[in-house]
Structure 1
Amino acid sequence: MALRNLFLFLLIGFISVSCSKSEQGDDAAVVTSSQGEGIKIQTWQSSKGAKVMFVQAPQLPMIDIRLVFNAGSARDKAQLGIAQLTNTMLSQSAGQWSTDEIAERFEEVGANFSTSALRDMAIISLRSLTDEKLLAQAIATFKVVVSQPAFKLDEIKRQKAQQLIAIQNQLQSPGSIASKAFYAAIFKGHPYAQPTMGIKEIVSAISTENLKEFYKRYYVANNLTIAIVGNVDQKQAHALVEEITADLASGKAAEKLAELAMPEKAQQIHKEYAATQTHILVGQPGMKRGDDDYYSLYVGNHILGGSGFGSRIMQEIREKRGLAYSSYSYFAPMLAEGPFIMGLQTRNENTQQALEILDKLLRDFIEQGPTAEELSHSKKNITGGFPLRVDSNKDITEYLAVIGFYNLPLDYLSTFNDKVNAVTAEMIKDAFKRRIYPDKLITVTVGKANKK
């Protein structure tokens, strides 16, 4: 209990690190460092081929480690749901230890372990104190979990049953119904179109051998990015990486995802659902990570619908007309073009009015761009809040994983505010005109149709 309390206390710390020039790591690992002011990111390739992203943060006696494999649901192919199930099984028995024994080993040293899977990524995370004995046990357990999953039949059946329950619950949720229909429509024919949890019939048929094959193909060092932030130096981080990946196969990186095609025409999809409110999603494929238009679209969307009560969508939909409690827009950049989404929930009888307002807001914004006042306020809001997004080890680890996985520049964090401030109204208007097509948007509504 004392260890747990100490661990929780340490979570509130801040980090501030300086920059240095490139250097040579141990075992001839070439270490490249970010330059300029701000957070110093060091990167190198492990002996097995994993990409490593490291920030030394000596202020607290703790370490965050995030393993990101290119093994999300976009790799499911015909076996929908297998990426999710494989990732979940990595929290079960491994090596000589049962699921309970693994949990106890992490608990004994105050370490936190978790897994998750998205469309692009499969994630395995560890947070531990850096006391030598405590860290040694946490890393030894983590290594076995990552490299020696047991895939026991009884545990597969149990986890599969839980995934099937989650799938069934999604069928009862109007928000999930809308999201599935939206992704299926805007990404038609692409791996992103499929539900991340899979579908009942296919998940039920996934075998032990299927899981082992998926793990063998995608959970390999050359398909892995490792992000580390904590109270260790580069030499220690290098040693930890080599230990964690020692029993992983080198393997090959996942194949590049297919290119996305924009919808050829607008489409309206309605799913009937007995409720007083209708869930609305409107959008199209948006942009990739590292997109040349990223900052223009990001700042522009902040004004359009990404800044809460300060955005045009919120002002028009909620503040002026009271049509919805929450209304928004956002870009979700991914390996391929992730979605651009505008969304809200409104009473069934207000659905058409809300859709007409969204359409007009978007068309006006594309045609006119932001005002000088909106742009100035948005930049101050974004740049002023950015330090709070990187104020803990956990936050930095998440950013490192994204930077490494998506091959973003090492100076991404240190130059973020400068690039935001460099955006002009003309850049926003130009980017939205080239990238967003009001006449080809996909509209999904889930609710009770308003029959006149």
Structure 2
Amino acid sequence: MPNFGTTTFLRAWILALCFIAFVPQVEAGPKIQQWTLDNGVRVYFVETHELPMLQIRAVFDAGASRDPANRAGLARLTSAMLDEGAGDLTADDIASRFEGLGAEFGAGVDRDMATVDLRSLSDSALLDPALDLFSKILSAPSFPAASLERNRAQALVALQKDMQSPGAIADKAFYRELYGDHPYAHDPQGDESSLKAITRDDLQTQYRSYFVGANAWLVIVGDASLRQARKIAERVIGHLPTGQAAVPIPLVSALDAPRQKQVAFPATQTHIILGQPGMRRGDPDYFPLYVGNYILGGGGLVSRLSMEVREKRGLSYSVYSYFLPLRMAGPLVIGLQTKNAQRDQALKLVRQVISDFVAKGPTEEELNAAKKHITGGFPLRLDSNGKIAENLAVIAFYGLPLTYLDDFIPRIEAVTAEQIRNAFRQRVHPDQMVTVIVGGGR
């Protein structure tokens, strides 16, 4: 049985440490060290000693885009089941052991990747058993039948809840309309029929296919030396079978005509999402599109969309835009909520603002303000081991250069208004977007 007095103390200590000011020197960026294990796992390590903690993230090319067509939701369910049992350990065993060590475990998926996380104090008396438990979960999940039924039921309840949310309905419809038969159209949560069809054999097949060395990356950040990190990597993931890397997913096709989908929903507000395939990670136009989008709709209340739609005309409380770069072209998303009676007026204005920005680009004043805000906020993206690990996982999975974090601020500062105009004219097509409207009639 765990010592709950010790556990309470450890948790309090961890929370206290997490609130200590910890801002690395991002002018030079964290030093990233990289190597490959014999089974093919690519390891990325950043050594930091500000806190006596270690953050580990295992990344697999096993996101929702890997779901079979009739098994949508399989990747997420597999991820959710990892800590439901491992070897001879039950879910309660796993939870109580992590609790007793003051360690935290987590797992999740998006459309591209599956991630499995461990956060632990670096004291070997606590770290060693946490690493052993983490390793066991990665190498020998048991996927108990009873746990599958419980997790399936929870997933079905979540789907029912989403059916009552106009925002969730709009988001799912947008991805279906935008990506069609491409794997990115799969809702990571799945659907009712696919979730009911998933079996324990499906989970085991998914795990055996994708949770292998050649399909994995490991990120280690925190209070360890390079020598220790090498041992940790071998310990937690070096024993996985080599296997094979997942086959490349298809390219995303560009839209050749506008599409509109309207879904009736009994509400006084209409939810609108419009967009198109945007950019991939490592895209040559990434920085001009990133800065340009901040000006268009990513900069909150100071963005063009917010100023024109919300501040000047009061047509929406919230209006925004963002690029979500993925392995293949992720979406450009523009979204807003507005009163049903103002729907057409608001949508027309949003399209006008987008078209004007694509045609003319930003002013120098907007560009300078955007650069100042982006570069000024960059240190907050690296102010904890967890955030460094998240950034490192992106660098690892998408094959970005090891200097990516060093280069980020100089690349932002080098963006010109002309580069933004050119990138948006070539890549953003206001007359060929998907539009999804969820809400009541006028």
With structure 1 as the length reference, what TM-score do the two structures score?
A: 0.94
- For the pair 1:277 / 2:281, whether they are aligned, the reply is no
CA contact (8 A) 1:63 1:128 kept: yes
Deviation at 1:17, TM superposition (A): 6.4
Aligned to 1:4: 11
Among candidates 37, 42, 47, match of residue 38 of structure 2: 47
- 2:128 matched to 1:152? no
Equivalent in 128, 131, 135 of residue 127 of structure 2 = 135
Q: Does 1:181 align with 2:155?
A: no
Alpha-carbon contact 1:60-1:230 (below 8 Å) kept: yes
User: Per-residue deviation at 1:233?
Assistant: 0.7
Q: Tell me which residue corresponds to 1:416.
A: 408
**Is contact 2:72-2:191 (8 Å) kept?**
yes
**1:154-207 Cα deviation digits (max 9, x unpaired):** 111111111111112111211111011100011112000111111111110111
Give the whole-Å Cα distance in 1 for the aligned partners of 2:133 and 2:292: 45
Structure 1 segments unaligned to the other structure (5+ residues): 19-35
Q: Are 1:362 and 2:354 an aligned pair? A: yes
Matches within 5 A, 1:27-176: 37-78=28-69, 79-176=71-168
CA distance in structure 2 between the partners assigned to 1:280 and 1:180 by the alignment: 12
Letter in 2 for 1:40: K
Instruction: Find the counterpart in structure 2 of residue 28 from structure 1.
Output: none
| Paired residues of 2:254 and 2:277 also in contact (CA < 8 A) | yes
SS of alignment partner, residue 91 of structure 1: helix
CA distance in 1, matches of 2:51, 2:430: 50
* d(CA) in 2 for partners of 1:210, 1:69: 17
Q: CA–CA distance in 1 between the matches of 2:17 and 2:219?
A: 19
> 1:324: how far off?
1.3
Mapped contact 2:23–2:379 kept (Cα < 8 A): no
The answer to whether the Cα contact below 8 Å between 2:41 and 2:238 also exists between their aligned partners in 1 is no
Which amino acid counterpart does residue 269 of structure 1 have in structure 2?
A: K
Residue 325 of structure 1: CA displacement?
A: 1.2
Match of residue 373 from structure 2 = 381
Instruction: Give the 4+ runs in structure 1 shifted more than 4 A.
Output: none
Indicate yes or no: 2:206 matched with 1:209.
Answer: no
Residue 5 (structure 2) aligns with: none
Query: What CA deviation, in whole Å up to 9, does each residue of 1:302-358 have, x standing for no partner?
Result: 000000011000001111111111110000000110000110101001111111111
Q: Using the alignment, how far apart are the partners of 1:191 and 1:419 within structure 2?
A: 32
Q: Contact between 2:63 and 2:111, CA under 8 Å: does it hold in 1?
A: yes
Q: What secondary structure, in the 3-state scheme, does the structure 1 residue paired with 2:335 have? A: strand
1:258: which partner in 2? Answer: 250
Tell me if structure 1 keeps the 8 A contact 2:111–2:188: yes
Q: Which amino acid aligns with 2:34?
A: T
Which is further off, 388-397 or 282-291?
A: 388-397
Give the letter for the 2:15 counterpart. L
CA separation in 1, counterparts of 2:321 and 2:54? 35
1:423-449 deviations in whole A, cap 9, x for unaligned?
A: 000000000000011111110010002
Check 1:17–1:148 CA distance in 2 against 1; reply closer, same or farther (3 A cut): farther
Question: How far is 1:15 from its partner?
Answer: 5.0
Partner amino acid for 1:349?
Answer: A
Distance in structure 2 (CA, Å) of the matches to 1:17 and 1:243: 30
Amino acid in structure 1 at the alignment position of 2:368:
S
Instruction: Give CA-to-partner distance per residue, 1:79-132, whole Å, 9 cap, x none.
Output: 111101101000211111110110111011100111111111111101000001
Look up the match of 2:284: 292
C-alpha separation in 1, matches of 2:91 and 2:17: 27
Distance 2:294 2:252 in 1: 25
Displacement after TM superposition at 1:247 (Å): 3.2
Measure the CA separation in 2 of the matches of 1:229 and 1:47: 21
Q: Secondary structure at the match of 2:435?
A: strand
How many angstroms apart in 1 are the aligned matches of 2:217 and 2:305? 37
Aligned residue identity for 2:192: K
Q: Supply the distance in 2 between the matched residues of 1:371 and 1:420 (Cα, whole angstroms).
A: 16
1:303 and 2:310 are equivalent in the alignment: no
Q: Give CA-to-partner distance per residue, 1:390-410, whole Å, 9 cap, x none.
A: 111111010000100011111
Conserved? CA contact 1:68–1:124, under 8 Å? yes
Separation in structure 2 between the aligned mates of residue 412 and residue 247 of structure 1, nearest angstrom = 30
| Worse overlay, 66-75 or 7-16 | 7-16
Q: Which amino acid aligns with 2:46?
A: V
Deviation at 1:16, TM superposition (A): 2.9
Instruction: State the aligned residue count.
Output: 433
| Superposed CA offset, 1:285-314 (max 9, x none) | 000000000000000000000000110000
2:226 is matched with: 234
Letter in 2 for 1:7: I
Shift of 1:39: 1.3
* Residue 24 of structure 2: aligned partner: 16
Determine the C-alpha separation between the residues in 2 that align with 1:69 and 1:276: 42
Identical positions, percent: 46
Contact 1:15 1:59 in 2 (8 A): no
Q: Aligned partners of 2:363 and 2:226: how far apart in 1?
A: 47
Q: Once the 2 structures are TM-superposed, how far is the Cα of residue 54 of structure 1 from its aligned partner?
A: 0.7
2:382 alignment partner in structure 1: 390
CA RMSD, 1 decimal = 1.1
CA drift of 1:60 comes to 1.1
Of 133-142 and 4-13, more deviation after overlay is shown by 4-13
